[in-house]
Amino acid sequence: MPARIMGYSDAGEVVETGDTVKGITVGQRVKVLAPHAQFVTKTATDGLAVFPIPEGLSYDSATFMALAAGGVAWSRSTPINPGDTVVVLGQGLVGNLYAQAVRDRQPGKVIVVDATELRCRIARECGADEVINGSETDSVEAIMDLTRGRGADVLVECVGGTSGIKSFEQAQRMIKNDGTIHMIAKYQAGDGVRGSGLLPLDSSVMQGKQIIFGFWKSPGGPNTRDLTDTADMLMDGRIRVDPLITHRMPWQDTPDAYHMLYKDLTSALGVILEWDH
């Protein structure tokens, strides 16, 4: 298998700029969309690839900006009315950050579901109204109980992978008539072949309901406004990332960090890789 460059979210200090770079200076703190490395080279043109870190925003928080901005952009594209019950399936980084960001849409209740106690505990700490551990209870029954048999107004699917296929099957039975499923995660069958993650759609259950995918009505995903707003939310506490950080590791242990995240979802969530100064 060919080598694969991993990662896309870094925060650090600018050490050199090209002659045509404007608005970015040597010594400035920035968030960068780039592979995990001690030094990266990036074209700074659109304000997204290289984003200045505001004063008061820590490097820890800045490393989460790419994912958090995704949560903000997704939450803004989900069709939600104030007072709606929003269910978020999956409390990995994306699901957790979405569940926090969606508070700005003024939902009546945010219910989250995950199958690991670690992620359920972190979700509670981050302010979810209700947390369901799918390994201990029937999550469909739990959602129906919490909504008095009505079902969720909006369900956001953030599980993905092979587990997400079963999760999507359950999701269809968690939403009310005329409710919406917003699909954020990506799926694959157990063989990992691209395009093999066929989802089980029950048309008899989904009659009168709708499914939307990705950054619906938000072409291209997060924009500079989303990033600026995300930075504000990270600084004022509307989005918390400290509970998400389960490990800090030196860059020399990067392979161990990736293996841990891939193989042991029960003990690891957010890993900060620290580089030499």
> Is 84 in contact with 64 (CB distance < 8 Å)?
no
Mean pLDDT over 26-41 rounds to 90
Show Cβ contacts of residue 159 under 8 Å, excluding neighbours closer than 6 positions.
89, 90, 95, 167, 168, 185
Q: What does the pLDDT read at residue 1?
A: 47
Query: Are residues 179 and 88 part of one domain?
Result: yes
pLDDT digits (tens, 9 = 90+) for 188-220: 655 556 656 677 888 888 999 999 988 777 666
Domain span at 151:
79-213
Q: What does the pLDDT read at residue 47?
A: 67
Mean pLDDT over 87-96 rounds to 96
Beta bridge partners of 210: 180
Characterize 233-263 residue by residue with b for buried, 16 or more Cβ atoms within 10 angstroms of its Cβ, and e for exposed: bbeeebbbbebbeebeeeeebbeebeebbee
> Is 196 in contact with 188 (CB distance < 8 Å)?
yes
More confident site: 227 or 4: 227
More confident site: 196 or 107: 107
Show Cβ contacts of residue 174 under 8 Å, excluding neighbours closer than 6 positions.
87, 139, 140, 143, 144, 151, 152, 155
Q: Nearest to residue 213, comparing CAs of 181, 237, 247, 259?
A: 181
Query: Are residues 173 and 144 part of one domain?
Result: yes
Query: Are residues 113 and 42 part of one domain?
Result: no
Residue 120 has pLDDT above 90, yes or no: yes
- Phi first, then psi, for residue 179 (nearest 5°) are -80, 175
Is residue 138 domain-resident? yes
Query: Are residues 149 and 53 part of one domain?
Result: no
Query: Are residues 121 and 43 part of one domain?
Result: no
Is residue 161 domain-resident? yes
Q: What does the pLDDT read at residue 20?
A: 85
Mean pLDDT over 3-32 rounds to 87
> Is 83 in contact with 248 (CB distance < 8 Å)?
no
Q: What does the pLDDT read at residue 194?
A: 64
Query: Are residues 263 and 170 part of one domain?
Result: no
Query: Are residues 233 and 130 part of one domain?
Result: no
Query: Are residues 175 and 119 part of one domain?
Result: yes
Which of 172, 187, 213 is at the close of a domain? 213
**Angle at CA of residue 120, ends 118 and 121, nearest 5°:** 65
Q: What percent of the chain has pLDDT over 90?
A: 65
In the chain, the number of structural domains is 2
Q: What does the pLDDT read at residue 272?
A: 94
pLDDT digits (tens, 9 = 90+) for 219-253: 666 788 889 999 999 999 999 999 999 999 999 99
Is residue 180 domain-resident? yes
Give CA–CA dist 214/222, Å, rounded. Answer: 11
Query: Are residues 126 and 28 part of one domain?
Result: no
Is residue 247 domain-resident? yes
What is the pLDDT confidence band of residue 94, given thresholds at 50, 70 and 90? Answer: very high
Which of 169, 187, 213 is at the close of a domain? 213
The CA-to-CA distance between both ends of the chain, in Å, stands at 33
Query: Are residues 194 and 118 part of one domain?
Result: yes
Which of 163, 180, 213 is at the close of a domain? 213
Is residue 71 domain-resident? no
pLDDT digits (tens, 9 = 90+) for 36-49: 888 888 877 666 78
Residue 13 has pLDDT above 90, yes or no: yes
> Is 152 in contact with 139 (CB distance < 8 Å)?
no
Average pLDDT, rounded, for the chain: 89
Query: Are residues 185 and 86 part of one domain?
Result: yes
Query: Are residues 102 and 183 part of one domain?
Result: yes
